[in-house]
């Protein structure tokens, strides 16, 4: 990675903001745990649990993709690509927006200087990748914000690695017919409308012909608890959602899992509900 052969790979830094000999002067500092690399213009670094990555995170956590994402230096910041087929990444810009990067999505740091990426592993483990793009913006380089987060939990028996090296979720119990219909109704606006939001329990009941919103809530509660027991993050908390039929406390996380895992897609929605109105 430190070869002077015109390679576009980044260089490791011995100190935050201090480039090693021969490193590009204009570079973003990318940090994961105790490892950091300098990414200059037209250079790329990858991150994930595989040994082939420049930044290795969660090596023992099979919930993470072997190659989760990449960061490419450009003239005014960095471009971040989600390389996973099944896992979303949370994007947080200091002084800017927070969003979910779906699989395959590309987002830039511009115009923000500091960006934090969060990847979610088994049993609530959170892994942070932090980008200090000031070196590419022409400003002074400084320390990226330190996360202080460490992986926790044990490996669930229901997660397996696919033959192509990417992480695929294989639940011991797939959604039942009723659960699948409710999931499809939940995700339909996201899959068919620009900027669509997941439906509430009441809206799911109306779309799927359920008896009442409580029936939908009970069914999806059972599903999310089962998935949470199998290591899927973000579906359960110590504090349960308030008993409000239109609560969306866990709805977005459940919809994100259904779409990212390809349990629900546009074809499934079409099969169950027909073409969008």
What is the C-alpha separation between 222 and 228, in angstroms, rounded? Answer: 10
pLDDT at position 257 is 85
Domain boundary among 124, 155, 186: 155
pLDDT at 106: 92
Same domain, 92 and 188: no
| Domain count across the chain | 2
Asked if the structure places residue 80 within a domain, the reply is yes
Domain that holds residue 253: 177-273
- Residue 172: inside a domain: no
Is residue 132 included in any domain, yes or no?
yes
Same domain for 242 and 106, yes or no, is no
Residues 26, 63 within the same domain: yes
* pLDDT recorded at residue 161: 31
Domain membership of residue 166 (yes or no) is no
Question: Which pLDDT does position 237 carry in this prediction?
Answer: 63
Q: Give me the pLDDT at residue 277, please.
A: 58
Q: Which of 122, 155, 188 is the last residue of a domain?
A: 155
CATH code for the domain in which residue 58 is found: 2.60.200.20
Task: Please tell me whether residues 183 and 151 are part of one structural domain.
Answer: no
> Mean pLDDT of successive 10-residue segments in the chain (277 residues)?
46 41 67 89 91 90 90 91 90 84 90 90 87 75 32 29 36 72 92 84 92 91 84 64 51 85 86 79
Q: Are residues 226 and 256 in the same domain?
A: yes
Tell me: do 114 and 249 sit in the same domain.
Answer: no
Tell me, yes or no, whether 30 and 148 share the same domain. Answer: yes
- Taking the whole predicted model, whether its pTM rises above 0.85 is answered as no
Report if residue 133 sits inside a domain: yes
Domain membership of residue 185 (yes or no) is: yes
Q: Specify if 162 maps to a domain.
A: no
Residues 190 and 143 in one domain: no
Answer yes or no: is 217 within a domain. yes
Pair 32, 149 in one domain: yes
Q: Based on the domain organization, do 112 and 240 belong to the same domain?
A: no
Indicate if 151 and 186 belong to the same structural domain: no
My answer on whether 85 and 119 are in the same domain is yes
């Amino acid at each position: 990675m430190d070869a002077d052969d015109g390679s576009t790979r980044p260089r490791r830094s011995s100190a935050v903001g201090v480039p090693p000999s021969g490193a590009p002067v204009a570079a973003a500092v990318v940090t994961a745990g105790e490892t950091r690399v300098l990414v200059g213009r037209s250079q790329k670094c990858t991150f994930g649990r595989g040994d082939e990555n420049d930044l290795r995170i969660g090596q023992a956590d099979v919930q993470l993709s072997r190659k989760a994402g990449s960061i490419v230096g450009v003239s005014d910041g960095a471009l971040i690509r989600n390389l996973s087929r099944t896992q979303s990444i949370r994007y947080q810009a200091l002084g800017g927006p927070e969003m979910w990067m779906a699989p395959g999505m590309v987002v830039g740091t511009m115009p923000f200087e500091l960006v934090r990426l969060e990847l979610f592993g088994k049993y609530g483990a959170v892994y942070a990748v932090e980008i200090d793009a000031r070196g590419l913006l022409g400003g002074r380089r400084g320390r990226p914000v330190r996360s202080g987060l460490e992986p926790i939990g044990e490996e669930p028996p229901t997660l397996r690695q696919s033959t192509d090296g990417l992480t695929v979720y294989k639940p011991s119990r797939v959604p039942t017919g009723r659960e699948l219909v409710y999931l499809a109704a939940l995700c339909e606006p996201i899959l068919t409308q620009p900027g669509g939001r997941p439906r509430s329990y009441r809206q799911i009941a109306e779309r799927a012909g359920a008896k009442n919103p409580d029936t939908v809530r009970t069914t999806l509660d059972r599903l999310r608890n089962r998935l949470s027991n199998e290591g899927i993050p973000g579906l359960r908390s110590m504090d349960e959602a308030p008993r409000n039929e239109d609560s969306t406390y866990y709805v977005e996380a459940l919809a994100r899992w259904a779409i990212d895992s390809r349990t629900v897609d546009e074809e499934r929605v079409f099969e169950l509900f027909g073409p969008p109105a």
